[in-house]
Amino acid sequence: MKRFINTGFKASAILFSAAVLISCSNDQDPGLEFAPDMYHSVPLDPYSQIKENKFNPAGMNMREPVKGTIARGKQGYNVYLSEDNAETAGVELKNPLAATSENLAEGKVLYTRFCSPCHGAEGDGQGLVGQKFKGVPSYTAGRVAELPAGHLYHVITYGRGRMLPHGSQVNPEERWKIVMYVQQLQKGETGTTVSDEASQEAAETGTENPATGTPNN
């Protein structure tokens, strides 16, 4: 009986070892894809590279956009800055949105939602987070009070210092609206009413509305 049990143990050990070796082997047949076109895009997909692309440089699906062009939905941000930094953006980027009370009001809502926890409702750096983590600057003091629109836009997009990027949270049009309201705060104002003269000037210049792609006038 004892001999029979020992034989059983040995057989079990051999079977277990064989199972381990088989499970760890890289020689298993993975099978065939029944319909590979269901898994791999036949058209060239810029975000998926399965095989070398025979038509594009370097064999890549993704290519740089034509120089000087702006993709739909990316209004107002020139990806071809001479240097990709906030200082250059401050010189080369201008707010493409018309200075209207509607845009300014929407900018205030977005600012309250995304910026006021640190920068405060009045832009004084005394939001709840700003009070906890000292050092958030006031928009009306020093160099910050003079920052141009493009500089503010770049910082919102990519962040700076302790401020993290917000490009994934607000789209380009929303960023410009926030910039418009921040520039109000730089002047120590929290209103959202634009003077009739400014609105009329924006209409007369035919500034394109990025939301519709048509001139305001």
Helix/strand/coil (H, E, C) string of 16-67? HHHHHHHHHCCCCCCCCCCCHHHCCCCCCCCCCCCCCCCCCHHHCCCCCCCC
Query: So what's the pLDDT on residue 204?
Result: 53
In a domain, 11, yes or no: no
In a domain, 174, yes or no: yes
Provide the pLDDT confidence category of residue 211 given band limits of 50, 70 and 90.
very low
CATH number, residue 200: 1.10.760.10
Among candidates 160, 185, 55, 52, which has minimal Cα distance to 110? Answer: 185
The listed range with the strongest mean pLDDT (4-18, 22-36, 142-156) is 142-156
In a domain, 126, yes or no: yes
pTM of the model as a whole: 0.61
Residue range of the domain that includes 123: 86-211
CA distance 162 to 168: 17
Of the given ranges (39-43, 69-73, 91-95, 201-205), which has the lowest mean pLDDT? 201-205
State the total domains in the chain: 1
Provide the pLDDT confidence category of residue 79 given band limits of 50, 70 and 90.
low
In a domain, 106, yes or no: yes
CA distance 38 to 50: 13
Who's near 64: CB < 8 A, 6+ residues apart? none
Query: So what's the pLDDT on residue 195?
Result: 76
Q: Where are the beta strands (DSSP E) in 95-142?
A: none
Q: Where are the beta strands (DSSP E) in the chain?
A: 208-209, 214-215
**Percent share of the chain, pLDDT over 70:** 71
In a domain, 148, yes or no: yes
**Percent share of the chain, pLDDT over 90:** 37
For residue 163, pLDDT over 50 is answered with yes
In a domain, 129, yes or no: yes
Provide the pLDDT confidence category of residue 201 given band limits of 50, 70 and 90.
low
For residue 181, pLDDT over 60 is answered with yes
In a domain, 184, yes or no: yes
Provide the pLDDT confidence category of residue 56 given band limits of 50, 70 and 90.
confident
Distances (CA, A) of 135 to 12, 32, 59, 71, 151: 69, 60, 48, 37, 19
In a domain, 71, yes or no: no
Query: So what's the pLDDT on residue 203?
Result: 54
